[in-house]
């Protein structure tokens, strides 16, 4: 069952809410003061009764909008955070997608990179709300496409945006190093690596030793076929032995892409579900709402429906 809580990261700033009573006082004091000044020059009350216009409206709508805007801004700087407690993965994951030139091979339709993107997207979709997932691409170097986040839509979008790398080489060690740094503060961490195993930069044994020192579990997904596929450099075949060695020696699992049903079942197994607290910073939404209210307030100021002067 999903439980939702709110808390403030910087509750000391909530003392600023004391300006709201002051704002209310200033609002009504200003109205009364303007009324006294105006009546010295003309009988606006009599004119208003004749014309059906309230020249001295209390402008409650304006006051309410002002209070809401101030409150939202104070809640923002106070770090209002949404926290949920629900079932999610016990692990935090980094997905590493090989985008070297060998991934242009067409033994998987339409090519290996596109196939790996589809598989990675399915994995993200299989995670429950609250699972932290990051994304990197790697070839001769690795690149952080998106840091750890619970936003599955954002990760899926970033996966689709990965393109083939123009430079040669596949540095698996740097990909593992980058993923490990992203997961440094996580208690249970795992790397989901999608590659054809054509590793030509770095030493595999050193990579395995490093992953074990960092307690990083590595699951590998082989992208490609034994028969191989054509690239601009010639025929490219999957190296299952390298991928299996990497996963088995780090207590992970190796998966093949040919059996989609088994692959999706494997996703559910490696997620390792548990009950988890997830915090979501909603300050961006609060500021956006405050801006919308300010625009509404500005619009009303320009109309005849609210008299501010």
SS3 track for 129-157: CCCCEEEEEECCCEEEEEEEECCHHHHHH
40 and 99 fall within a common domain: no
Q: What is d(CA 158, CA 162) in angstroms, rounded to the nearest whole number?
A: 7
55 and 144 fall within a common domain: no
Whether 307 is covered by a domain: the verdict is no
Closest CA to 219 of 70, 101, 129, 94: 94
CB atoms within 10 A of CB 184: 8
What total of structural domains would you count in the chain?
2
199 and 175 fall within a common domain: yes
Domain that holds residue 33: 3-82+280-301
Whether 10 is covered by a domain: the verdict is yes
Phi then psi dihedrals of residue 231, to 5 deg: -130, 180
35 and 131 fall within a common domain: no
What is the Cα Rg of the chain in Å? 29
245 and 285 fall within a common domain: no
Whether 309 is covered by a domain: the verdict is no
Residuewise pLDDT in 10s, the chain (309 residues): 556 778 788 889 999 999 999 989 888 888 777 666 655 555 555 545 544 444 445 578 888 999 999 999 999 999 888 877 655 567 899 999 999 999 999 988 899 999 999 999 999 998 877 789 999 999 989 999 999 999 999 999 999 999 998 876 788 899 999 999 999 999 889 999 999 987 776 688 999 999 999 989 999 999 998 888 888 788 888 889 999 999 999 988 898 876 666 666 777 777 764 455 567 778 889 999 999 999 998 888 777 544 444
pTM summary value: 0.65
């Amino acid at each position: 069952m999903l439980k939702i809580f709110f808390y403030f990261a910087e509750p000391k700033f909530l003392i600023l809410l004391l300006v709201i009573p002051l704002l209310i006082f200033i609002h009504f004091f200003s109205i009364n003061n303007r009324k006294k000044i105006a009546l010295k020059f003309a009988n606006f009350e009599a004119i208003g009764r004749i014309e059906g216009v309230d020249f001295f409206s209390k402008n409650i709508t304006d006051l309410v909008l002002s209070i809401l805007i101030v409150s939202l801004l104070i809640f923002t700087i106070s770090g209002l955070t949404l926290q949920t407690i629900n079932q999610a993965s016990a692990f935090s994951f980094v997905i590493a997608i090989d985008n070297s030139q060998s991934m242009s091979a067409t033994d998987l339709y339409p090519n290996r990179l596109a196939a790996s993107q589809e598989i990675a997207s399915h994995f993200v979709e299989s995670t429950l709300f609250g699972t932290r997932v990051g994304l990197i691409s790697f070839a001769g170097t690795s690149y952080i496409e998106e840091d750890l986040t619970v936003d599955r839509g954002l990760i899926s979008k970033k996966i689709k945006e990965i393109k083939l790398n123009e430079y040669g080489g596949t540095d698996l060690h740097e990909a593992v190093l980058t993923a490990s740094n992203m997961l440094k503060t996580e208690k249970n961490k795992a790397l989901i690596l999608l590659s054809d195993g054509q590793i030509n930069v770095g030493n595999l044994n050193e990579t395995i030793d490093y992953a074990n020192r960092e307690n990083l579990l590595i699951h590998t997904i082989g992208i490609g076929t034994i028969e191989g596929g054509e690239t601009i450099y010639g025929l490219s075949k999957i190296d299952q032995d390298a991928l299996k060695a990497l996963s088995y020696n780090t207590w992970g699992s190796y998966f093949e892409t040919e059996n989609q049903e088994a692959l999706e079942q494997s996703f559910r197994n490696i997620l390792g579900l548990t009950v988890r607290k997830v915090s979501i910073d909603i300050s961006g939404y609060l500021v956006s709402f405050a801006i919308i209210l300010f625009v509404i307030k500005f619009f009303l100021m320009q109309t005849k429906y609210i008299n501010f002067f």
